[in-house]
Amino acid sequence: MGSSSVNDPNIMEEGGQQLDHVIGDRNVAERSRMLLNAPQPPGLCSEFVSSVKDIVNLPNGNKSYSGEKKKPELKQHVGTVLRGLFPILSWGRIYTLSKFKSDLMSGLTLASLSIPQSIGYANLAKLDPQYGLYTNVVPPLIYALMGSSREIAIGPVAVVSLLLSSMVQKIVDPVEDPTGYKRFVFTVTLFAGTFQAAFGLLRLGFLIDFLSHSAIVGFMGGAAIVIGLQQLKGLLGFTHFTNNTDVISVVRAVWRSFHDPWSPHNFILGCSFLIFILFARFLGRRNKKLFWLPAIAPLISVILSTLIVYLTRADKHGVRIVKHINKGLNPSSAKELQFSGPNVGEAAKTGLICAIIALTEAIAVGRSFAAIKGYHIDGNKEMVAIGFTNILGSLTSCYVATGSFSRTAVNFSAGCQTAISNVVMALTVILALEFLTRLLYYTPTAILASIILSALPGLIDINGARNIYRIDKYDFLACFGTFLGVLFASVEIGLLIAVTISFSRIILNSIRPGINNLGQLPGTNNFCSTSQFPMAIKIPGVLILRVESSYLGFANANYIRERILKWVTEEQENEESKENARTLQVLVLDMSNVLNIDTSGIHALEELHKELVSLDLQLAIASPTWKVMHKMKISKYMDIIGSGWIFLTVSEAVDACIGSKMVISLPC
Amino acid sequence: MGSSSVNDPNIMEEGGQQLDHVIGDRNVAERSRMLLNAPQPPGLCSEFVSSVKDIVNLPNGNKSYSGEKKKPELKQHVGTVLRGLFPILSWGRIYTLSKFKSDLMSGLTLASLSIPQSIGYANLAKLDPQYGLYTNVVPPLIYALMGSSREIAIGPVAVVSLLLSSMVQKIVDPVEDPTGYKRFVFTVTLFAGTFQAAFGLLRLGFLIDFLSHSAIVGFMGGAAIVIGLQQLKGLLGFTHFTNNTDVISVVRAVWRSFHDPWSPHNFILGCSFLIFILFARFLGRRNKKLFWLPAIAPLISVILSTLIVYLTRADKHGVRIVKHINKGLNPSSAKELQFSGPNVGEAAKTGLICAIIALTEAIAVGRSFAAIKGYHIDGNKEMVAIGFTNILGSLTSCYVATGSFSRTAVNFSAGCQTAISNVVMALTVILALEFLTRLLYYTPTAILASIILSALPGLIDINGARNIYRIDKYDFLACFGTFLGVLFASVEIGLLIAVTISFSRIILNSIRPGINNLGQLPGTNNFCSTSQFPMAIKIPGVLILRVESSYLGFANANYIRERILKWVTEEQENEESKENARTLQVLVLDMSNVLNIDTSGIHALEELHKELVSLDLQLAIASPTWKVMHKMKISKYMDIIGSGWIFLTVSEAVDACIGSKMVISLPC
């Protein structure tokens, strides 16, 4: 039905006649005909199909990494798929001894940082210390097989540990029911891994884009402060602390704890080693050759403080220590997963949120280091890799692992070449689990707290926030809102604020679009906004307005119509007050920005036309886009305003008005 | 900080030099400078302020109705405000006897339709019949004082009655606790009126735009069928029926009721009068002079059927009758309102939904008839009028009233001139309440059902739905989804579907924008999409892409970057396969549609530039809009790509490429 009117000879004829009458220029008429005879734009169904195809066929950055092209043979095809799933099959064949040397060094450096950090993160996740170490064994090994980033360091991270404990402890109390808590955490890990792998396999990589960069800056900043406040418990050696993560609860808990008896030894020990770690980092930054110093400082702190406690028996004097760490490799946790009971839905929800945050961090980390080395990371592939990492992790007593900001930077500056550095790190952690757990018995918890505290400044990106503020105030609102939400409410509320503010921007943009008055740029045929180009000259008798919205529809059609009418009446009043003889004759509506229109939009245009007729004004439409043109045709709107009043450009519309002597030409 | 870099002479100087070097054309350089030196666009704060001002100062259509302009004096000012609130003060002074004659006739016609309809609607709302009549007394009187529509007929309507009963009966059972139910309904009415008045006073008229026209078409169609099915109870004389409104429950209830003993007399009586009413309408449509026939047919049916039942004592043989109707004027219900207890929140929620649906109907009705008579209705003023109507209604035993589709059409065709016809109708209903209630005792409920049934076809707009399907498939999806939601789930679910589908369109449009390849239209300087204009010619060596999104930001920046890269690599592969000597040199990005950009968008552009550099391609940006230009300046992105590569139009960018001999000129 729609397409029949497109080629309706009557409309064309009438259009042509009117055009000749008005303009008398065959050339313009011909161009107008091009506009009228455009092919039909793709419909909803074909758009949906092409969008799905798009998702499935997005450029696969990993191909350039493997350096292979698809070949039709089955064997070759299987090879390609396998190499796609396990990039190690590609780069493993060109792996050299010199690369291994670099990877060995960086792997060992990484391990020296990972061991104390992961014990601290397990503490933050309210798990026993060995679970942090376990999470540093299986996930890095799996990722080395499946991942495509060469620098990323996989393992437990601060933000996910915090998120996990803050969400899970609302459902299972880690003190009253430690086994149930542990089982729930493994179940959450399995769900998180499954969601991540599913996102990757279904090519839903764009989902993580919904957390905008600015929201992540705010989220990370807020989370860093919350994590830092949680460390006060370890640093000050408190026994009673709050389970809430918001600033107010924590400050209140700290205040209350000061009234209980507490030992200052913890604080002195923790602070002195914190200063040592920070000083080591300062030295490492000043002198690039000392890059290993900040990486190894945490391990040195652990060794020294453990020795001090062991020799002075300070644990008898109120210094809190790690105590028992289970010896041996990761036990299987397959039987601990729970798929029945009332909390499975909660586990899935927690898993989803952890999955998204973990992916966001991993992909941001992976991409930024890949950009430095000049290769591309395919988000969907990374999701699959991280997903399987966590699925297998959940079966081997690991909790949610992802790429860590701080350790990846250490890995990079230690000169890692491939994911083998992760393997080296995992093997070192295995050795530590076998032989060193008894030595860690006397490690003071204050040292773990100070190691975590020292890693936090990297999460607070003040420069990034300042940059966001400078470039885009609304983005800063999202950033700051998320920050405050995480700080004063909870991690989930912060995320909710982030998504809400980000999406409300898209919606606000659509429901309150701008309308701009256009004028001719001197010496050109271009018509530009008079606010952007104050030198643009208005054409007397013609009001040219541009609708600044990509969508003219239910949410804004009425508003746009009223704004246009307001502009018209103001212009008329203006002319009357000037006692200007040349009154307004034509309204040219530049629709070049309107990419789509719906039935409400068409209806508003119809009403606008009626109202303009009652004001004795002619409506001309300039540069309608493809879909708008098509819908104006099938809705017969074009018959209402006359197809001779539709122009390819604003300048042609103005020429037509001047040519038809409706308005007086301006000498320019 | 932002504005300092805008006028940074270094940038300008560098830009200028680069420009001369590349183009060697002072004119283009000058225009490029115009682009670079544009004033700063309004910030977030000033945009917010102007948006608030906009809301407050929207054109006030009612001023033209009153024909008055504001004057500075206080007394005059008070007068204007009073006339604004009570338009009757304006038009009342020019009211004439001839107008009154028309209003009297149309008011009496209206009353003859209103009395039986409102008893039926009270039944639908599960209230005693007199409450329908009460709602036909106070609301029309208040509206006559405050409303600005001249045709609208105020009173109870089918959709709101259904909505009210279906939502309220989930909280208070109308059979077990009729007093509590009634009190709850009055409270809901007060809330609805308060919300409506608040929307109007705060100028939030745009809120009702969120229910798109297509969603309303679907909603009304679904609601009409649901209402029709509810009438089966009255028409078939069932005693047991379901409280659910969805089709499946109702069909099941009808099926079950057929197994109980039931009297076919109800059905025969109802059907024969339904046929009579429909035949009267058919006659009225055929012959415009008989317009009163369809309007008066319901009253005739009531009188005749009541007489038949009274004379044959059919109520003894299973014919269900209305029975007792309370005599006398509206009693006060001020003391029945409840503001404490657990259900106040529910009352507010129900009130909000009823308020929005009632407003949508009233404003749609008012506007469409005002458009026929050629005057404009201010949505915000109407909201205040309807709001106060319901607030006062809730104090005088009325439930939610609004403008009725069917009765407004009758009022219009009966030739009403002003809202006085509503007053005449209300006075007639008062007379009926005083003297006729005892006569209505024997009115069969089947007749009321058939009167409601006869009004339903007007709510089902099949032509409208077909039109929506033809013009916009996605709109039709919203329409049909809402229809199915109302039909198979519930009224609220239908509304939820409507809002969700409508808004997801806006979001989908933003996250999956199109990228179009542009070519030169033969014989012009215009560059247009090659899919819209198949005759457009591509420029060898230059790839011109247009981003078809009004917003380049977090939700789509990555996608757009990947799509552009995909296009570039495809173009390069294409050229390689053709063994074409002229390989791609420049990518011109037409940003004319991108009205805003955020930090993620800037970041994506930066990455795009890096990736293009690695592919040995130059990036040129054509026609950036105001805000985009500003943000590229303050984020120093312009320094990265070089301000000489930013052009006012695509054609200038292409000329510059040809002029710089980067690409070979095409003879055309």
Interface test with A, best of B378, B472, B482, B566 (most A CBs within 10 A): B472
Q: Taking a C-beta distance cutoff of 8 angstroms, is the pair B371, B412 a contact?
A: no
Pairing outcome for strands A527-529 and A514-520: antiparallel
List pLDDT tens digits, range A258-279: 787 777 888 888 999 999 999 9
**How sure is the predictor about A288, in pLDDT bands with cuts at 50, 70 and 90?**
confident
Contacts of B533 in chain A (CB under 8 A): 34, 38
Residue B665 DSSP symbol:
P
Judged by CB atoms closer than 8 Å, whether chains meet at B534 and A468 is answered as: no
Q: What is the pLDDT of residues B347-357, one digit of tens each?
A: 999 999 999 99
Angle formed by the axes of helices B491-511 and B473-488, nearest 10°: 150
pLDDT, residue A6, reads: 38
The answer for A 300-339 residues in CB contact with B (under 8 A) is none
Q: Do B45 and A473 touch (CB under 8 A)?
A: yes
Chain B interface, mutation test: which of A211, A471, A607, A633, most B Cβ atoms within 10 Å?
A471
Question: Is-contact B228 B208, C-beta < 8 A?
Answer: no
Kindly state the DSSP code that residue A524 receives in the 8-state scheme. Answer: S
CA dist., res. B576 & res. B580, Å (int): 6
Q: What is the pLDDT of residue A342?
A: 84
pLDDT at A610: 87
Containing H/E element for A618? strand A618-622
Residue B376's CB is within 10 A of a number of other CB atoms, namely 21
User: Which segment, A161-165, A512-516, B664-668, is predicted with the most confidence on average?
Assistant: A161-165
The per-residue pLDDT for A326 is 86
Which of B471, B556, B626 has its CB closest to that of A532? B626
- What integer pLDDT is reported at residue B56 of this predicted model? 57
Report the C-alpha gap between B258 and B208 in whole angstroms.
42
Q: Break chain A down into helix, strand, coil percent, rounded to 5.
A: 65, 5, 30
Give the contacts of A387 (CB within 8 A, at least 6 positions apart): A193, A194, A195, A196, A197, A198, A199, A200, A355
Residue contact A470–B554, C-beta within 8 A:
no
d(CA B140, CA B144): 6
**Beta carbons of A555 and B468 less than 8 Å apart:** no
Q: Which residues lie closer than 8 Å to A63 by C-beta, 6 or more apart? A: A69
Looking at the partner chain, which of B473, B592, B634 has a beta carbon nearest the beta carbon of A592?
Answer: B592
Residue B135, pLDDT score: 95
- Contacts made by residues B532-537, CB under 8 angstroms, sequence distance 24+: B532/A38, B532/A39, B532/A41, B532/A625, B532/A626, B532/A629, B533/A34, B533/A38, B534/A39, B535/A34, B537/B666, B537/B668
- A348 interfaces chain B, CB cutoff of 8 Å: no
CB contact under 8 A, B553 and A468: no
Query: Token pair for residue A532?
Result: 């952007």
In angstroms, what CA-CA distances link A597 with A547, A554, A560, A605? 12, 9, 12, 10
Runs of H (alpha helix) within A153-177: 158-168
A556 and B209 within 8 Å at the Cβ level: the answer is yes
Lowest mean pLDDT across A59-63, A86-90, A227-231, A554-558: A59-63
Domain boundaries, chain B: 2-40+513-659, 60-94, 95-505
Compute the distance between CA of residue A521 and CA of residue B64 in angstroms, rounded to an integer: 37
Of B2, B511, B569, the CB nearest to A470: B2
A67 pLDDT more than 50 = no
Best A506, A515, A551, A569 residue to mutate vs chain B (most B CBs within 10 Å): A506
**Phi and psi dihedrals of A237, rounded to 5?**
70, 35
Q: Please, what is the Cα angle at B260 between B256 and B262, to 5 degrees?
A: 115
Nearest CA distance, B628 vs chain A (angstrom)? 10
Q: Is A51 on the interface with B (CB under 8 A)?
A: yes
The Cα–Cα gap between A491 and A169 comes to 13
The rounded distance, in Å, linking the Cα atoms of B503 and A555 is 9
Helix B97-124 and helix B213-236: axis angle, to 10°? 70
Q: Tell me: pLDDT of B13 over 50.
A: no
- Residue range A297-311: average pLDDT? 90
Q: CA A567 → CA A288, A587, B308, distances in Å?
A: 63, 10, 63
Q: How many CA atoms lie within 13 A of A182 on its CB side?
A: 22
Asked if A364 reaches chain B (Cβ–Cβ under 8 Å), the answer is no
Q: Check whether B23 has a pLDDT greater than 50.
A: no
CA distance, residue B71 to nearest chain A CA (Å):
17
Which residues in B lie closer than 8 A to residue A602 (C-beta atoms)? 471
Q: Which CATH code is given to the segment(s) A2-40+512-659? A: 3.30.750.24
SS3 state at B23: coil
Q: Is A555 in Cβ contact with B502 (below 8 Å)?
A: yes
Contact present, B649 and B623 (Cβ < 8 Å): yes
Q: Which of residues 231-290 of B touch A (CB under 8 A)?
A: none
Q: Which of A128-142, B187-201, B616-630 has the lowest mean pLDDT?
A: B616-630
pLDDT at A212: 81
Which residue, among A598, A512, A520, A588, has the nearest Cα to A554 in the 3D structure? A598
Sign of CA pseudo-dihedral A403, A407, A409, A415:
negative
**What interhelical angle do B626-634 and A462-471 show, nearest 10?**
150
What is the four-CA torsion angle of A63, A66, A71, A76, rounded to 10 degrees?
A: -130
Chain A partners within 8 Å of B505 (Cβ): 553, 598
Q: Give one DSSP letter per residue of A348-405, joined into a string.
A: HHHHHHHHHHHHHHHHHHHHHHHHHHT----HHHHHHHHHHHHHHHHHTT----EE-H
Q: Using a CB-CB distance cutoff of 8 angstroms, which residues of chain A are in contact with residue B474?
A: 44, 598
B553 touches chain A (CB under 8 A): yes
**H or E element that contains A403:** strand A402-403
CB atoms within 10 A of CB B77: 12
The pTM for the full model equals: 0.79
- The CA-CA-CA angle for residues A330, A335, A339, to 5°, reads 125
Nearest CA in chain A to B648: A526
Query: From the CB of residue B318, how many other CB atoms can be counted at a distance below 10 Å?
Result: 13
Say yes or no: A468 contacts chain B, CB-CB below 8 A.
yes
Between strands B646-647 and B618-622, the pairing is parallel
What tens digit of pLDDT does each residue of B45-73 get? 777 777 666 655 544 433 333 444 444 57
In B550-645, where do the E strands start and end?
551-552, 586-590, 596-597, 618-622
Residues 427-446 of A with CB under 8 A from B: none
Burial tier of A477 (Cβ tally within 10 Å: 0-12, 13-18, 19+): buried
pLDDT grade for A191, boundaries at 50, 70 and 90: very high
The one-letter code for the residue type at A87 is P
Judging contacts by C-beta atoms under 8 Å, the chain B residues touching residue A38 are 532-533
Answer with the residue of higher pLDDT: A78 or A581.
Answer: A78
From CA A175, how far away is CA A181, in angstroms rounded? 9
Structure tokens at A313: 């028996």
Beta-carbon neighbour count of residue B334 at 10 Å? 12
Determine contact: A628 vs chain B, CB below 8 A.
no
Amino acid identity for residue A99 in this structure: K
pLDDT given for residue A304 in this prediction: 92
Residue B461: both structure tokens together: 């707009």
Q: What is the ipTM of this complex?
A: 0.80
Q: pLDDT of A353-399, one tens digit each?
A: 999 999 988 988 887 788 777 777 888 889 999 999 999 999 999 99
Q: Which residues pair with B597 in a beta bridge?
A: B552
8 Å CB contact of B474 and A598: yes
Q: What token pair was written down for A247?
A: 């600033």
pLDDT in tens, A591-603: 999 988 988 899 8
Who among A526, A598, A607 is closest to B648 (CB)?
Answer: A526
Nearest CA in chain B to A602: B471
Contact B380, B203 (CB under 8 A): yes
B2-40+513-659 maps to CATH 3.30.750.24: yes
Helix (H, G, I), strand (E, B) or coil at B147: coil
Tell me the mean pLDDT in the region B196-224.
85
